[in-house]
Structure 1
Amino acid sequence: MKTTGIVLAGGKSTRFGEDKALYLFKNKPLVLHALDILRPFCDELMISTNSPESYQDFGVKTVMDIYTGSGPLGGIHAALSISQGSHAAFISCDTPFIPSDIYPFLLENMADHQAIMPAHGEYVETMCAIYQKSSLPFIEKAIVGKKYKILEALKAINVRYINIENETFFRPEIFHNINYKTDL
């Protein structure tokens, strides 16, 4: 099974005040933390962004939204559309605390589902997920229908929401995303 790793870095970073994907955290850009999380188990890496020129020095493909203004779902769609793998692992650029071992766990538990994402308590982590390429037409249909919320779009596909609260890698703070510089 070939897996493509995709970092979602297409947001406007309005609350952050500058492009947070390029902001240094522990001496390297947040986007590089995300790439390093995906690197151990992915055959291909890419960054979904609306400013590809900012990422040309990272040595990975970049992809721009096909449907602009559709939020993270547009980034998922664009990346899946050019992905070489049968599966695509997604991570948001602003979640540097996600452990690498969560993705092999998700792949192992995916079975015949078209997507899998971790859940804990009442939370579903939609930006830390794996999708099969077969989910692409359903995601495109949602975008064309102006259904940009990920959970809404996923109603059309076979998704597994897997509880991770008892896994050794789980701590609630692993999904903390960086919205403000004070979050670092």
Structure 2
Amino acid sequence: MIGLVLAGGKSTRFGRDKALYHCPHERVNNAELAVNKLRLLSDEVIVSANAKNGDALTTQFQAVPTITVVTDQAPFVQHGPLSGIYAACCRHPQTTDYLVLAVDYPRITPNVLAAVADHPNCFAATPAASHYTIAHFSVSRNTLRDFLLLGDFRLGQFIEGSRQCLPLTFPNSESFTNYNYLEEINHAD
């Protein structure tokens, strides 16, 4: 299983790059928090970056041979999380097992990720929301390419429809707080 960190978002609502952001209560930035959690469960971690943060993330992780930073690959550039997954699939074109985590869940616990890792074809859910960017599934580059060529870039449709993932439900908790605005972090601390 390969850990996949989704770190390529535009962070428009957040106001600065979420992957490089260092939460006040943490020793490292959000990308490293996600990488460290996935390294507990996988031998390799891919960080899917964007054109703006790719160089910084590559420099940050260059000393660790089991961590690779990739950026969006044509023809699926800037199509949200599916572009990041496609970039990882370009590195591993065969059917590959992925454990996915987005950088905007800095409080997700290793126990939650371990539970998701133990259940193939699932995504994390709480009574309040589906958390598609915390998921475990297998896919090949060709399968994902064929899905994307249909023009549907909704992650939920890919996770539930194409990959037939089922929700793995957890109780509501701070772990599942998805930070979209900087003010949310400042109020949480």
Q: Do structure 1's residue 157 and structure 2's residue 171 form an aligned pair?
A: no
Are positions 1:50 and 2:53 aligned together?
A: no
SS at match of 2:40: helix
Q: Aligned with 1:24: secondary structure?
A: coil
CA RMSD for the aligned pairs? 2.0
Q: CA deviation at 1:68?
A: 0.6
Cα 1:72–1:85 change in 2 (3 A) is: same
Aligned length: 172
- 1:4·1:85 contact (CA, 8 Å) conserved in 2? no
Alpha-carbon contact 2:119-2:136 (below 8 Å) kept: no
CA distance in 2: counterparts of 1:96 and 1:12, whole angstroms: 17
Q: Structure 2 unaligned runs (5+)?
A: none
TM-score (norm 2): 0.81
Residues 151 and 138 of structure 1: is their aligned pair in 2 closer, same or farther, counting only changes over 3 Å? farther
Single out whichever of 154-163 and 70-79 deviates more from structure 2: 154-163
Unmatched runs of 5 consecutive residues or more in structure 1: 166-170
**Runs of 4+ residues over 4 Å off in structure 1:** none
1:168 matched to which residue of 2? none
Q: CA distance change for structure 1 residues 49 and 108 in 2, over 3 Å: closer, same or farther?
A: same
Percent identical residues: 27
Q: Is the 8 A contact 2:31 2:103 kept in 1?
A: yes
- Determine the C-alpha separation between the residues in 1 that align with 2:50 and 2:68: 13
Retained in 2: the 8 A contact 1:94–1:179? Answer: yes
Q: Aligned match of 1:61 in 45, 64, 68?
A: 68
2:108 pairs with 89, 98, 113, which one? 98
For residue 142 of structure 2, what is the aligned residue in structure 1? Answer: 137
